[in-house]
C-alpha cells in the first residue's frame, strides 16, 4: 500500500509540474507591410550620461533609450528622427520576403535575458500603402526589442539568429 501511494504521489507530482509551452504558430508574421524604412545611428551610450542635454539630444534620448513612440499613432518622431542622429535607408522590395520571415513567430528553446543599458540604434518602420503598420526598435548589443503593433508571439525574437540575419540584409 505504501508502495502504491508513493507511485501515485510521484505521478501526481510529475503531472502537476509539467508545463506546456504556449502554442506558437510557426510563421505568423508580426507586421503587414509593403515598405520597410530602416533607421540607424552610430551614437554611443555616453550621451545618456552627459549633462545638460540640448533639446535635440532630449528628443534623441526619448527615441534611443525610451519608449518613443508608445503607440502606433505616435508618428511625430518620424518628422525629426533623421535630424537627431539617425540615418534613413529604405529597404528594397526584393528583401521584403527575408524581412517578413525574420519578423515572424518562431519556436525557441531558450530565450536568454541579457543585461545592458538598452540603446535602440536600429529602428524598422513598417508601412502598408504609406501608412505605418508597425515599429520594431532593436538593441543588437543586449538583444532587447520594443515592438509596436506586432501580431503574434514575439517572445522568441532574437533567439534564433534574427539579429545576424538583419545585419546582413541592411548592409
pTM of the model: 0.80
* pLDDT value of position 8: 40
- Res 9 pLDDT > 50: no
pLDDT tens column, 86-143: 999 999 999 999 999 999 998 887 656 666 788 999 999 999 999 999 999 999 988 8
pLDDT tens column, 31-43: 999 999 999 999 9
Contact partners, residue 97, CB within 8 Å, separation at least 6: none
β-strand partners of 89: 38
From the number of C-beta atoms within 10 Å of its C-beta (0-12, 13-18, 19+), residue 6 rates as exposed
Q: What is the mean pLDDT of the chain?
A: 83
Amino acid at each position: 500500500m505504501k508502495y502504491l501511494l508513493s507511485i501515485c504521489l510521484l505521478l501526481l507530482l510529475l503531472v502537476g509540474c509539467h508545463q506546456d509551452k504556449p502554442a506558437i504558430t510557426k510563421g505568423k508574421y508580426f507586421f503587414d507591410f509593403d515598405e520597410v524604412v530602416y533607421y540607424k545611428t552610430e551614437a554611443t551610450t555616453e550621451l545618456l550620461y552627459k549633462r545638460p542635454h540640448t533639446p535635440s539630444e532630449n528628443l534623441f534620448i526619448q527615441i534611443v533609450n525610451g519608449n518613443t513612440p508608445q503607440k502606433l499613432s505616435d508618428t511625430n518622431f518620424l518628422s525629426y528622427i533623421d535630424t537627431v542622429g539617425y540615418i534613413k535607408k529604405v529597404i528594397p522590395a526584393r528583401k521584403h520576403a527575408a524581412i517578413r520571415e525574420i519578423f515572424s513567430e518562431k519556436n525557441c528553446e531558450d530565450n536568454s535575458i541579457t543585461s545592458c543599458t538598452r540603446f535602440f540604434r536600429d529602428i524598422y518602420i513598417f508601412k502598408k500603402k504609406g501608412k505605418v503598420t508597425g515599429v520594431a526598435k532593436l538593441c543588437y548589443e543586449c538583444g532587447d526589442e520594443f515592438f509596436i503593433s506586432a501580431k503574434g508571439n514575439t517572445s522568441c525574437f532574437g533567439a534564433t539568429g534574427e539579429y545576424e540575419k538583419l545585419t546582413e540584409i541592411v548592409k
